[in-house]
Structure 1
Amino acid sequence: MARRILVTGGSGPVQFVERPADNEHELQTVLLTNPALMPAEDLGLDDELLVVGRETTLASGSVDLLCLSRSGELVVIEFKTGPQNPDFRHALAQVIDYGSDLWKLGSWTEFDEGVVHRYLTSRHVDPGVKTAQDLRAAAVGTWGLDDTGWQTLATRLDQVLITGDFHFVVAAQRFTEQMKDSVRYLNETTRYGKYFLVEVIRLDGLEQRAYAAQVVERPPARTSASGTASKATQTDFLAAIADPTYREAVSELFATVSALGLILAWYSKGASIRLRSPDRTEPISIGWVFLEGGQWYGARHITLGVDPGTLKSHPSLAPAVTEFCQRVSRVQGGKPAAGVLSATVFEPDAFTPAQPQLLALLSDLQKAAAAIPVSGTGSP
């Protein structure tokens, strides 16, 4: 049954009735030229979206619309151009292909140079950002960000590009239950990436025409599982660091941890860096991060090392982790952790110059751990 909308005020009430568009391309054009129609709040995003790509060519094709949120989330939008299921499958495959193209970029700077710069100099650019030379200028001009706000956005965008945690949107005039089931399956089984279906409809009045967009399928709310960093916690952690040099160094630490396949497990005042173990299903902590004033058994600021008692439960890792702790202890600027931990503390002034060496040691540890065969007899 067609939806009806009554608009009151002005010269009098006007009734709009939902009508099929002449073709899907009509609705695609409306959305491309009026991206504010996309219901950002229902996508779980804050504020108005900033368009950073429109019909932008990537390795696998031209993405219909690419948008960025104020918090650093990237939204990939593809329009289903036909009414049949094969058209839907094609659109769904396309957004995934575009996601893989963007994921390969790996950092906001490469995304800016490889994607955003081309959009800002294209004929498709929005007038509001036409004078912007790069992503930062476009974001600051759109949302009025200060340095901390921009750094928070850039840090989250880096994480999104590294993990591939994009917002994938397929837009169309109608979706079948089978199409919705396909998206529900992806949302339930995919660790990174969120999938949305958005219906765009046409409403005809006596002398006027209106369009509306509505999210009809979206992922369920995700709780923060053990080993998965809460986005808000990581964002708030970095935003609370006043020194931009130290903040950037810590941001690179987080990005490296993610890229190496290590785990950031967040709790109320900080996070632990964890290494997967061939001996047990639960990983072992080999580092901790805290803001000023936070601590755990002597771990403060950036602390790398291990709890010797815990290490006894991971005998296969013991040689590699012990060597890691010894090498970390020899890095200039570190101080032995107080208490029971076999660990070294790096305060902000010490961590920044030591960061490249410490990231290399984390990489070496991960490689050593990955080379250990899994016996299959570890305890649960």
Structure 2
Amino acid sequence: MTHDPDLGVLVRRVGSTSAWTTPDMTAYVNEDHLQRIIAEDPDRVPGVPEGAIAVRELPTSAGPADVCIVSPDGALTIVECKLASNSERRRMVIGQVLDYAAAIWRDGDTAFHEQWARRGGNDLHALGEGGYEQLGRNIAAGRLHLCLAVDQIDADLRRLVEYLNQITRHDITVTALQLSYARHGDLEILIPSTYGGEIAAAKARAAAGTTTRWTKDTFLDSIGSDTDRASAEKLFALLDQVDDRRGTHDDLWYGNKPGGGVFFHPYGLRYAPIQLWINKSGQLMAYGNWYQYDKIKYHHGFAELAHLVGQDHQSTAKGFPIADLTDLDQFWSITLRCAEHINRPDAEPDHRDVDPDTAIV
């Protein structure tokens, strides 16, 4: 590989007085290398939140899409990867990603679920009823986020991103992700930058009233019974009373109406132990997130919460009605303990007793 003097990265060992040098390698091995990096850390893609899951080379009737990402609220992102060294194929990137998006829409959600499973993707039912149903609605409506992932964003690509955002519907967004890569010895360096995120955000604001995120008020107003609403109000109030800040995350993360969840982040910590959502009957539901995040999947810190609701933290989580809980204060105390355990710096998945023939690890 040749060094790229424009990468802007120089390295030397701490304490060394030798000259700064370029890394040993400043380019991807191939496009498969770029795909793998994105699939392993999908929340690097603009607009994709933590907890999203991904598969590579998802088969469609138009060919395999490089990376498909499903967010916790059911939002779907298709990523097409191209390298600057492959100039001829980069001219095809726009047509390819649009072709794959059209194929997913035309093939339908049943085909999508089948192909996702065949590629070894995490169980999409683990999104919870709200996210799972919203994914189906997004596919049926062709409501997709398209991302062009490259090692170098140039003027042509910026122009295409601007144009596609201008001519497409408000609920279809197009962004570009640049992931410049370098390696020096056993150290890998990734320099991300994005283009089109602000344009996509402006489109999302313009689409307000069609596809919008929950707010606390709209979520409460959509609950079908006074009892369930009172329970939701109490949980929101209990979260507000947690003054101890140990992280920088917002206390609440709101999914899209009508099927997305509301994720609770006590102490401002990264991983949310629970989410609330509303089913088709207007019933307030909850969902334990032990299957939501790859990095802490099956974590033992979820065990007490899962036991309380009659589930196993080492299997796929299922939604449960808040009305079935006999003691909301006990539920909240366990939720707080869970948040502490799963967000410890040494948090690791717990796979000790998982049956490899029945569980996706």
Give the TM-score taking structure 1 as reference length. Answer: 0.48
The CA deviation at 1:190 is 0.7
- One-letter amino acid matched to 1:100: A
Structure 2 counterpart of 1:232: 213
The CA deviation at 1:93 is 0.8
2:58 counterpart (41, 44, 56)? 56
2:50 counterpart (47, 50, 53)? 47
Structure 2 counterpart of 1:3: 8
The CA deviation at 1:208 is 3.5
The CA deviation at 1:97 is 0.5
Structure 1 counterpart of 2:174: 195
CA contact (8 A) 1:49 1:68 kept: yes
Structure 1 counterpart of 2:117: 117
Structure 1 counterpart of 2:323: none
- One-letter amino acid matched to 1:156: Q
The CA deviation at 1:116 is 1.2
1:158 counterpart (127, 133, 136)? 136
- Partner of 2:148, secondary structure, is strand
2:162 counterpart (176, 184, 188)? 184
Structure 2 counterpart of 1:276: none
The CA deviation at 1:56 is 2.6
The alpha-carbon distance between structure 1 residues 226 and 84, as it changes in their structure 2 partners (threshold 3 A), is closer
Structure 2 counterpart of 1:68: 70
Structure 2 counterpart of 1:339: none
The CA deviation at 1:217 is 3.5
Q: Name the CA distance, whole Å, in 1 between partners of 2:16 and 2:113.
A: 47
The alpha-carbon distance between structure 1 residues 167 and 227, as it changes in their structure 2 partners (threshold 3 A), is closer
CA contact (8 A) 1:91 1:170 kept: yes
CA contact (8 A) 2:82 2:93 kept: yes
CA contact (8 A) 2:46 2:177 kept: no
Aligned positions, number: 222
2:210 paired with 1:205:
no
Structure 2 counterpart of 1:89: 91
Deviations 1:81-114 (A, max 9, x none): 454654223111111000011112343x44212x
CA contact (8 A) 1:2 1:19 kept: no
- One-letter amino acid matched to 1:59: S
**What aligned pairs does 1:2-41 form with structure 2 within 5 A after superposition?**
2-4=7-9, 17=22, 21=26, 26-35=29-38, 38=41, 40=43
Q: Going by fraction, where is strand more abundant, 1 or 2?
A: 1
Greater shift, 30-39 or 152-161, is seen at 30-39
**What aligned pairs does 1:88-107 form with structure 2 within 5 A after superposition?**
88-107=90-109
Q: Name the CA distance, whole Å, in 2 between partners of 1:36 and 1:87.
A: 21
Structure 1: 5+ residue stretches without partners: 141-148, 244-268, 271-288, 293-380
The alpha-carbon distance between structure 1 residues 40 and 82, as it changes in their structure 2 partners (threshold 3 A), is same
The CA deviation at 1:182 is 1.0
CA contact (8 A) 1:186 1:195 kept: yes
Give the TM-score taking structure 2 as reference length. Answer: 0.50
Deviations 1:222-250 (A, max 9, x none): 2544785133149965995479xxxxxxx
- Partner of 1:4, secondary structure, is coil
Larger radius of gyration between Structure 1 and Structure 2: 1
2:176 paired with 1:174:
no
The CA deviation at 1:291 is 7.2
Q: Name the CA distance, whole Å, in 1 between partners of 2:119 and 2:108.
A: 19
CA contact (8 A) 1:68 1:75 kept: yes
- One-letter amino acid matched to 1:4: V
- Partner of 2:210, secondary structure, is coil
The alpha-carbon distance between structure 1 residues 241 and 173, as it changes in their structure 2 partners (threshold 3 A), is same
The CA deviation at 1:61 is 1.3
Structure 2 counterpart of 1:283: none
CA contact (8 A) 1:224 1:230 kept: no
Q: Name the CA distance, whole Å, in 2 between partners of 1:150 and 1:239.
A: 21
2:58 paired with 1:80:
no
